[in-house]
Amino acid sequence: MEAFSENIIRAAGYIMPLLAVWILVRCVRSMLREKYEPEVWAYLETKGGETAAIRHWECIIGAAKSCDIVISRDSVARTQAALIRSDRGDWTLHDLDSSGSCCVGKQRDEGHGISLHDGAQVNIADVELVFHDLSEKQRAAVDSARSAPGLLISPGLTLLALTVFQALLALLFTVSLEREQLLTAVLGFAALAVTQWCYYFVMRAIDRSGFEVETLAFFLSTLGLAVVTTCAPDDMLKQLILLLSGIFVFLALGWWLRDLKRTKAMRWPVAAAALAFLALNLVAGKTSYGASNWLSIGGVTLQPSEFVKMAYVYVGAASLDRLFRLRNLFGFIAFSAICVGALALMGDFGAALIFFVTFLVIAFMRSGSFATVFLAVAGAVLGVLLVLTVKPYIAQRFATWRHVWDDPLGAGWQQTRGLSAAASGGLFGVGAGNGWLKSVFAADTDMVFCLICEELGLIIGLCAVFAVIVLAFFTVRSAARGRSAFYVIAACAATSMMMVQLALNVFGSVDLLPFTGVTFPFVSKGGSSLISCWGLLAFIKAADTRQRASFSVRRLSDHDGEGAEA
């Protein structure tokens, strides 16, 4: 009997990495194989009867190839006009060329755009076009002809694979855990499985069938739960509550993002709240291990910078009025500078770096200018040099970088142990709960990649990294069909933020980058980070405009009484 159960456990150790790979492959395949057919919102018709579909809420018309609607005429400027749909469904034409060569009927753009109605006569330079707005009924007809996700690669099966993965993980823990802790662990994994299936059925009930993003997040959260089980089994309940809070934030923010108008209306209040939060942190923050990035409110400790991440993406994307307008960019730059500065003051160098790279992504996506990015990088390098001279403990981390084996008993303590433990795991790990790295400081946060590699093996460790990367590919792919620049920029910023955080965590722990002590998205133990990651996921979910894919994208047939469509 003992030999039998031993064999089962050994087999589980080999099956789990395969399952992890399979889950990832299914998510990738679903992403690659599903057709991403764009939505259609209106048409432009030429005199000759040719039509061009308008597929986004913001379309650029001009002679340049990069325009959404290309008119190859000498008389038309490279970027001539913008066609913009408001959240209420009204269309306006904005002349981007100051010569005033665009008009609707006889009306010219006075700087606020010219409103368009169905059948309007649009003149772009000497080209005459007719604008056809689609009625709600027509749009619904076009929409239902698009293919929905989940038909080729069943999301239920992927989720089932994940459930088996969770069950095997719980089984592996039976070997290493004490009886009391084992019960908590098994209940914890069961609760996670129940949560994900509840989520699945609720989404199916409201007719949503895209689950790739959530499956990846649930996969990573499973590993997070394994980390808690092995490092601090008594914190299981707390971690579950935090996970549920994260999912709640995900749902709430996703629902909020459905309405672009209200989203944009709240941008400055959100920015103000973020700054206030950071200011409070600066004033009342607790210092722990060099960085004073903790705040203790009524017995609950939290890391404000994690919540500010969500606000930062929100503000960064929402403060863009419309394309080719720079006005709010400076407001955003000021906001970014304050955020990064505040984090640097707190000594949270890792978070400052994450914000900075996210700033670069948002700035580039908004301006399209590499020059801006280079300027920003140059400015940042100077800033970093300043920080290094002011904060000796950060300078020391740079000195240790790539030299951890020179000082395994000092500055390289964590990384050398991390590498040693991670290598001991090989491809399949020493078994859940069987490792020793958990006794090393910050094994469940900063060193979490090494911990996973040690106990579950390099394959699952890399799968965790790739899960985040797949999220990024997914985001970029759905970006092509985004309704509005807001969703695309927010989703890309959110995924970039996660990847930078991932890179700093993973490569910091294995000494490929300086050790900055940031968290692994979804996996590291810690509530603020977990909640913020689920929050960021909402931005990615809101950019998925496939037919019936995302709860955070309002469908044409949805009448949820928010008045925007009415």
Partner 1 sequence: MKRVKSRATAALIIAALVIAGCVVYVIEFLDNGPRWVMYSANQSVYKNGVLTTGTVTDRNGTLLARAQDGVYFYAEDADTRISCLHAAGDFAGNIGTGALTAFADTLAGYSPVSGVSKQGGTLTLSIDAALNRTAYAALAGRSGAVLLMDYKTGEILCMASAPSYDPNTGFDSADSRYEGVYLNRCLSASYTPGSVFKLVTLAAAIENIDDLYERSFYCTGSENISGVGVKCTGVHGYQTVEQALANSCNCAFAQISLELGADTLAQYAEKLGFTEALELDGIEIKTGSFEKAAAGSADLAWSGIGQYTDLVCPYAMLRYTAAIAGGGEVAGPTLLHGKAAGTTRILSLDTAEKIASMMSYNVVYSYGEWNFPGLKLCAKSGTAERGDGTSNAWFTGFLDDAEHPYAFCVVIESGGGGLANAGALANTLLQAAVAGN
**Mask 511-540, x = binds partner 1 (CB under 8 A)?**
-xx---------------------------
Element (H, E) at 288: strand 286-288
Q: Smallest Cα–Cα separation from 189: which of 213, 211, 165?
A: 165
- Indicate whether 58 belongs to the interface with partner 1 (CB under 8 A): yes
Which of the residues 16 through 55 are near partner 1 (CB under 8 A)?
55
- Residue of the chain from 457, 521, 527, 535 that contacts partner 1 (CB under 8 A): 457
- Residue of the chain from 5, 66, 144, 287 that contacts partner 1 (CB under 8 A): 66
* Residues in binding contact with partner 1, number by CB under 8 A: 61
Where do runs of H (alpha helix) occur along 232-348?
A: 236-257, 260-265, 267-284, 304-318, 327-346
- Residue of the chain from 233, 246, 425, 526 that contacts partner 1 (CB under 8 A): 425
Cβ proximity to partner 1, 337 vs 513, nearer residue: 513
**Shortest Å distance, C-beta 361 to partner 1:** 5
Q: How far apart are CA 55 and CA 32, in angstroms?
A: 21
DSSP string, 210-226: --HHHHHHHHHHHHHHH
Contact 206, 254 (CB under 8 A): no
- Residue of the chain from 37, 68, 97, 407 that contacts partner 1 (CB under 8 A): 68
Cβ proximity to partner 1, 323 vs 556, nearer residue: 323
**Mask 391-410, x = binds partner 1 (CB under 8 A)?**
-----------------x--
**Mask 426-445, x = binds partner 1 (CB under 8 A)?**
xxxxx----xx---------
Q: How far apart are CA 219 and CA 333, in angstroms?
A: 35
- Indicate whether 479 belongs to the interface with partner 1 (CB under 8 A): yes
Q: How far apart are CA 224 and CA 79, in angstroms?
A: 48
**Residues pairing with 82 in the sheet:** 60, 94
**Shortest Å distance, C-beta 106 to partner 1:** 29
Cβ proximity to partner 1, 159 vs 437, nearer residue: 437
List the beta strands (DSSP E) in 117-259.
120-124, 127-133
Cβ proximity to partner 1, 336 vs 495, nearer residue: 495
**Shortest Å distance, C-beta 63 to partner 1:** 13
Q: Smallest Cα–Cα separation from 461: which of 236, 231, 219?
A: 219
- Indicate whether 125 belongs to the interface with partner 1 (CB under 8 A): no
Dihedral angle computed from the Cα positions of residues 312, 271, 552 and 255, in that order, rounded to the nearest 10 degrees? 140
- Residue of the chain from 28, 61, 67, 342 that contacts partner 1 (CB under 8 A): 67
**Shortest Å distance, C-beta 537 to partner 1:** 15
- Residue of the chain from 123, 138, 174, 420 that contacts partner 1 (CB under 8 A): 420
CA distances for 553 relative to 198, 208, 444, 475, angstroms: 20, 10, 35, 14
- Judged by DSSP in three states, 385 sits in helix
How far is C-alpha 414 from the chain's CA centre? 29
- Indicate whether 416 belongs to the interface with partner 1 (CB under 8 A): yes
Cβ proximity to partner 1, 65 vs 106, nearer residue: 65
| CA triple 166-167-169, angle to 5 deg | 65
Q: Which residue in this structure is represented by tokens 């997914």?
A: 474
- Indicate whether 359 belongs to the interface with partner 1 (CB under 8 A): no
Q: How far apart are CA 205 and CA 200, in angstroms?
A: 9
Tokens of 448: 């979490």
What does the binding site for partner 1 look like in residue numbers (CB under 8 A)? Answer: 55-56, 58-60, 66-68, 323, 357, 361, 364-365, 368, 408, 416-417, 419-430, 435-436, 454, 457-458, 462, 465-466, 468-469, 472-473, 475-476, 479-480, 482, 485, 488-489, 492, 495-496, 499-500, 502-503, 506-507, 510, 512-513
